[in-house]
């Protein structure tokens, strides 16, 4: 009886430890250069012009213009871009924009499009970029306190 109780207690502690460690920590995506610009995202896959300066940083409710750039074969990047943002802690989802047509090459990327984006609250956000409902990749950004 004591062995089974001890085994049950150890199993419970391990379960708590695994559950407590399961939340993945999100970090802001890397900055990289393409053409004459700094971008945030995944080099040679997707990103948007962003140099982490005061002028382009995300702040709650602040709308700014961002130019998205995507790399991929013609089949992957042919169509319209949709971006859905998810807040790390609250799991709130926001459709940033949808239906933006992807235009030809620009700044070293295969296609590009302009967008207006704003996020409602501070913290880390994952921006999932879809081309014709296919996930092309994700960019992680921090929304700073004002």
Residue ranges covered by each domain of the chain: 26-143
Rounded distance between C-alpha atoms, residue 85 and residue 68, angstroms: 15
* Domain boundaries 26-143, corresponding CATH code: 2.60.40.3830
Q: What is the mean pLDDT of residues 109-133?
A: 98
Predicted confidence at residue 104, as pLDDT, reads 97
Residue 129 has pLDDT above 90, yes or no: yes
Q: Calculate Rg over the CA atoms of the chain.
A: 20
Q: What is the mean pLDDT of residues 119-143?
A: 98
Predicted confidence at residue 98, as pLDDT, reads 97
**Cβ burial 122-146 (10 Å sphere, 16+ → b, else e):** ebbbbbbbbbeeeebbbbbbbbeee
Residue 1 has pLDDT above 60, yes or no: no
Give the global pTM: 0.84
């Amino acid at each position: 009886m004591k062995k089974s109780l001890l085994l049950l207690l150890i199993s419970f502690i391990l379960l708590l430890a695994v559950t407590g460690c399961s939340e993945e920590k999100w970090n802001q995506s890397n900055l990289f250069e393409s053409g004459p610009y700094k971008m945030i995202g995944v080099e040679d896959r997707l990103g948007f012009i962003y140099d982490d300066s005061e002028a382009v940083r995300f702040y709650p409710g602040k709308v700014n213009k961002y130019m998205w750039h995507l790399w991929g074969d013609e089949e992957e990047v042919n169509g319209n871009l949709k971006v859905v943002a998810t807040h790390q802690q609250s799991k709130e989802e926001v459709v940033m924009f949808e239906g933006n047509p992807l235009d030809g090459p620009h700044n070293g990327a295969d296609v590009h499009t302009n967008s207006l984006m704003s996020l409602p609250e501070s913290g880390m956000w994952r921006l999932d970029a879809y081309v014709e409902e296919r996930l092309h990749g994700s960019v992680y950004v921090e929304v700073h306190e004002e």
